[in-house]
Amino acid sequence: MRVLRLPAIHHDANLVVVSGSMGNLLIDAGTSWYQGLQVERIKGVLGVDSTLDRILLTSKRYPCSGGAKHLATSFKDCVVHVHPDGQAALETGDFFTTWANRFDSDMPPVLTEKVTDGEVFVLGDGHVESIALPGHSSDGMGYWIPEQKMLVVGTLIPRADRPSRWDLPGGCLPDLIQSLKRVQKLRPKSLIPMQGPAIKGQNHIRDVLAQHLQFFQECLDNEGLVSRSVPRPAQTALWYTPHPPWPLEENESL
């Protein structure tokens, strides 16, 4: 089984292509801004005549889901999966809870099938397991690839140096904390955040998770308020940007 991260373009989430002897799937779809380019990138990995069986979304948020309609149409019979809490928003093209309105974009409506905690997608020589990771939103999902001890975490960790927001529709600070603790118990060797480079190595992952957990716990202890030292997020941001900046790479000191 082969796993390849297609780095995020601008506001898009990272796309992860997983191909096996019995099929191919994609984790997250990016925005609708670069959907044509994303199709070309996926075909460049799988081959022009290859099929894509399903798209697994980590969230209904526009950076993860906006391109799902176009990608599903471009690959015949491709099924889009999202947590049940995100189905209504995607199928009606709700540009408020998906946050598409903040990007001055429409949300292309797309038919979906539900994915819940513990489902297994078999690819022949490997498989992908779904893990519920609410917090940024109630429909937050992660996807565990046990053969590589890799977890695609989506909006739970927007980037190694950017903690997630919980003040958007469906967000919950205590859930963020519990979801990160669940990730810790898996002891992954690689994390794929929503954007930015993969977080690799158990020591680096341990430090990143600890810093995110400390941030959220301090906010929880402060009655859910973020420290005044943290700048107000941009209108499109699904994350906070701490000041001073957190390290992005492992070789930067915490």
What is the domain-level CATH number for residue 83? 3.60.15.10
Nearest residue to 155 via CA among 59, 55, 82, 233 = 59
> Looking only at Cα atoms, what is the longest distance across the chain?
54
pLDDT in tens, 15-25: 999 999 999 99
pLDDT in tens, 31-85: 999 999 999 999 999 998 889 999 999 999 999 999 999 999 999 989 999 999 9
Q: Tokens 């176009």, residue?
A: 70
Q: What is the rounded CA–CA span in Å between residue 136 and residue 164?
A: 6
Are 190 and 150 in contact by the 8 Å Cβ rule? The answer is yes
Instruction: Tell whether 91 is covered by a domain.
Output: yes
Are 168 and 201 in contact by the 8 Å Cβ rule? The answer is no
Instruction: Tell whether 130 is covered by a domain.
Output: yes
Backbone angles phi, psi at 180, to 5 degrees: -65, -35
pTM: 0.96
Dihedral (CA of 45, 17, 190, 124) sign? negative
Q: What is the rounded CA–CA span in Å between residue 19 and residue 14?
A: 16
How many structural domains comprise the chain? 1
* Domain that residue 19 falls in: 2-159+186-201
